[in-house]
Structure 1
């Protein structure tokens, strides 16, 4: 018997482009929610043309929009806005990442939509949130990473700040959107009147939330954490070390017991037994010395040799993988993180597996990112009850 997906029966109307809201929609769709993605009729979500292409379609799009249903709506036309209002009667969640004020301009604010469906949950993602002096500023994930404090910390102290290699600000905000929406669904389903609510996710706040204990540390001590390259500030040893073959290994020997095992493995029992290094504070104060000792050992061995010895000693260590390395890794294969997919032209491909893994109701991939408007007939005729004639008229008028 086919297992039921955990979000089966939940309907999500996705009105967002690029990364943050669509990433949230992707997670909903992977776990069984019916995600109806609204796209502009002529070219769709701009992500369809980002990065590397397969024919006329972004490869990233295939992943970001998997399991979603694409319909076209011109939200700038009153007829298109009316379509959204009809859909709101049928769905549980509206997910959007327009600039604050945009939906209000189109008559699609939360206040308006909850008049149509009091149970509706609206999840809004924006650069700075729906309130505050910055609400009207243009905001992208890259800027949120900067104002959220992450970029200040990324890189080496003698060089300008750099970005993480992915759209981390957008992706984290997307995950917070999912968490907030699931909590709101839980509350609504327990409420006697089944009332929905508004979720306000700001990109910069999502990034800021990752800054560990930096805020109270600054307030109480005046310490501003700075860029520290490959090290983990105040935690030792945790760094990247060069091996004999020129490859690099990341070693985390920063708990007391693990540090002792690490030192014994590299032949430095004298350091393992030295009371100066028995706790993290002492090691952090002498981190440059400890790192030099570790790297003097790693440089005598190949990466494979280092990993074998440290694995045997139960010391956390790992190579620095490129995507090429990931594709060939047995752990990824064993846990279904490299899903084989055949594209429409017959080309074989691999897609990322579903995260997280649920024992009884795991997520699944049903189809790749759809063609623009691929599900127009299914949604307009099947869900809203439109006729072929109505669809033809709306298309001629540029509404869909």
Structure 2
């Protein structure tokens, strides 16, 4: 048994933040039904690169789901959706603010269909405020939310994180907020309308950068691969490739000095505490750069790890999947796709002792389960054929 067995989710979301969030719920056992337009207007289905004619971007965010096509702008489509909604626990959507109301499925309307419904609305800027109508894509939010300004080299330009990190973080809040709402519903019988904004998520994720400003008025600047508050906590070029070293406390620095063959650093008044090391960051880095260049990254990783000093070689994506720990944790699994055959996907990282999360279903083709789902709701084959002829499904 999986934790969310018996929970039904209608997923109206597109692109990444919403679909990744609903996939978390699907992995945990919920029945997630993607509601898509018959023409397949989810942009993520059309993003390069492709394997066959399937987008690898789409494949990453939609395992363990069903796909049902419904034209929500048609009267027949609205009636079908209402029928599905009456039986749903959760509805996830990321239309622009107000769109769901205009379609006739705002929270108040949905509550009339099912009193304890949980609606999770994801937008760039939220349901309120002067920016509420604007679209918000991940890189725009990285810029507006301060992430780009603290990412990159000190003498370089503001830099976007190389993955859609705001979408990914928002997807986690989708799962967290839905799970919390399900718990509250079970206790009180009340539904919920969740208002998730990508900008809110990004601001909440500024972490120490936000805290330094709010409590000390400090406006952080780009520090490259170093750290504002801790040193050494950065990358160093070894004889062959870079390594990241994170010396989180004074005891670790004592160990670092010993491993690197310079025990005299332990007694150097410039380096004995983190505060002193911050004050003499440049001199410390010059010492470290010279020594790290003497050996390969693999050799330094072995030596530092043996002393329990956090470190890791800077890997490209191919090297990530060759990493012995990634292999040991079996972070790649296979599933069978009806058009592509056996495909590799990244496994859900949650490990339960009493439940195994896996890819039970491949990412669905557009509308793949439309007929099967509608038949489960009592729609006859003749009615389904008529709806198809009209372009409703």
TM-score > 0.5, shorter chain as reference: yes
Which ranges of structure 2 fall in alignment gaps of 5 or more residues?
none
Give matches, 1:93-242, under 5 Å: 93-191=90-188, 194-242=189-237
Matched, 1:61 2:58: yes
1:41-61 deviation per Cα after TM superposition (whole angstroms, max 9, x unaligned): 012422111121011111222
Aligned alpha-carbon RMSD (Å): 1.5
Which consecutive unaligned segments of at least 5 residues does structure 1 have? none
Structure 1 CA distance, aligned partners of 2:337 and 2:320? 21
Please name the residue that 1:244 is paired with: 239
Deviation at 1:376, TM superposition (A): 0.8
Which residue of the partner structure matches residue 270 of structure 1? 264
Contact 1:17 1:47 in 2 (8 A): yes
Aligned-pair distance for 1:335? Answer: 0.9
**Cα gap change, 1:349/1:290 in structure 2, threshold over 3 Å: closer, same or farther?**
farther
Q: Which residue of 2 aligns with 1:42?
A: 39
CA distance in 1, matches of 2:101, 2:366: 26
Task: Sort the Cα spacing of 1:59 and 1:331 in 2 relative to 1 into closer, same or farther, 3 A.
Answer: same
Equivalent residues of 1:243, 1:300 under 8 A apart: yes
Q: Report if aligned partners of 2:52, 2:340 keep a CA contact under 8 Å in 1.
A: no
Per-residue CA deviations over 1:332-391 (Å, capped at 9, x if unaligned) read 121120113444456553210112211212321112211111111221111x21001111
1:105 shift after superposition: 0.5
Aligned position for 2:331: 337
Quote how far apart the aligned CAs of 1:129 are.
0.5
Post-superposition CA distance 1:179-229 (Å, at most 9, x none): 0110010111011xx111111110011111111133342244332001111
CA distance in 1, matches of 2:246, 2:381: 62
Bigger CA drift: 151-160 or 121-130?
A: 151-160
**Paired residue secondary structure (2:207):** coil
| 2:271 and 2:284 in contact (8 A); partners too | no
Q: Please report the TM-score for the alignment, with normalisation by the length of structure 2.
A: 0.96
Alignment match of 1:295 (pick from 282, 289, 297):
289
Whole-angstrom distance in 1 between the partners of 2:63 and 2:56: 11
Scaled by the length of structure 1, the TM-score of the pair is: 0.95
CA–CA separation in structure 1 for the residues paired with 2:125 and 2:54: 31
1:281 CA drift (Å): 1.5
For the residues of structure 2 that align with 1:376 and 1:37, how far apart are their CA atoms? 10
User: 1:389 maps to what in 2?
Assistant: 382
User: Which shows bigger deviation, 355-364 or 310-319?
Assistant: 355-364
Please give the per-residue CA displacement for 1:41-83, whole angstroms capped at 9, x wherever unaligned.
0124221111210111112222211110000011222222222
